[in-house]
């Protein structure tokens, strides 16, 4: 083998490694974007279920008007937050807390607890909350994989020049979000 052949083989291997590394970074970045979109889908689902829940509960809880108003205000705050779901986290957290309060207050209404529409909506919202949490965990897993690859040698030599950057994790932003919801009657 002559020197030119060896040089061509080394260049071909380097080019293949570059293509493989670039494609793996693109794949991870797109999976992180998909995971973030999945969170948005579940948040939208919850957002759309709330008016049905409020209407179902209204007939049973006339004197618990403030609870219903708080749910409506929290939903409006989410709608007004706009932008990236990470930035909407505080409004979404407040909405989750008001829904928990609504379900706790509903315990005082036996007819409401037995109402099929209410039970179905409660199950749907509970299922949606679980899906939101699962979507956030999946997003954080994808972000961890992407960030690790971007930070690792020798991939970091490819990532920075080609414009790949680290993504932010979903995190609890305030101490209040870490506290349990206090339900008072």
Kindly report whether the global pTM for this prediction surpasses the value 0.75. no
pLDDT digits (tens, 9 = 90+) for 56-104: 666 666 656 677 777 778 877 777 776 666 667 777 777 777 777 777 7
Q: Where are the alpha helices (DSSP H) in 87-169?
A: 89-105, 110-114, 116-151, 155-159
CA 123 → CA 60, 92, 105, 157, distances in Å? 18, 19, 16, 49
The CB-side HSE value for 59 (13 A sphere, CA atoms) comes to 11
Q: Which residue positions in the chain have pLDDT lower than 50?
A: 177-178, 180-185
Query: Which fold does the domain 21-178 belong to in CATH?
Result: de novo design (two linked rop proteins) (1.20.1440)
> In Å, what is the CA distance from 49 to each residue of 12, 86, 117, 147?
55, 21, 12, 35
Domain parsing of the chain, residue ranges: 21-178
């Amino acid at each position: 083998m002559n020197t030119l052949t060896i040089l061509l083989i080394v260049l071909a291997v380097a080019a293949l490694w570059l293509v493989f590394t670039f494609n793996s970074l693109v794949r991870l970045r797109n999976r992180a974007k998909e995971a973030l979109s999945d969170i948005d889908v579940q948040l939208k689902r919850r957002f759309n279920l709330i008016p049905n829940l409020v209407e179902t509960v209204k007939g049973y809880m006339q004197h618990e008007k403030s609870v219903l108003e708080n749910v409506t205000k929290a939903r409006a705050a989410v709608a007004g937050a706009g932008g990236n779901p990470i930035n909407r986290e505080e409004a979404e957290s407040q909405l989750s807390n008001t829904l928990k309060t609504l379900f706790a207050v509903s315990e005082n209404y036996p007819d409401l607890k037995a109402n099929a529409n209410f039970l179905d909506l409660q199950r749907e919202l509970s299922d949606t909350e679980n899906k939101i949490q699962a979507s956030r965990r999946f997003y954080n897993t994808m972000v961890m994989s992407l960030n690790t690859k971007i930070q690792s040698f020798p991939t970091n030599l490819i990532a920075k020049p080609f414009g790949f950057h680290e993504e932010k994790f979903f995190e609890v932003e305030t101490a209040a979000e870490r506290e349990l919801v206090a339900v008072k009657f």
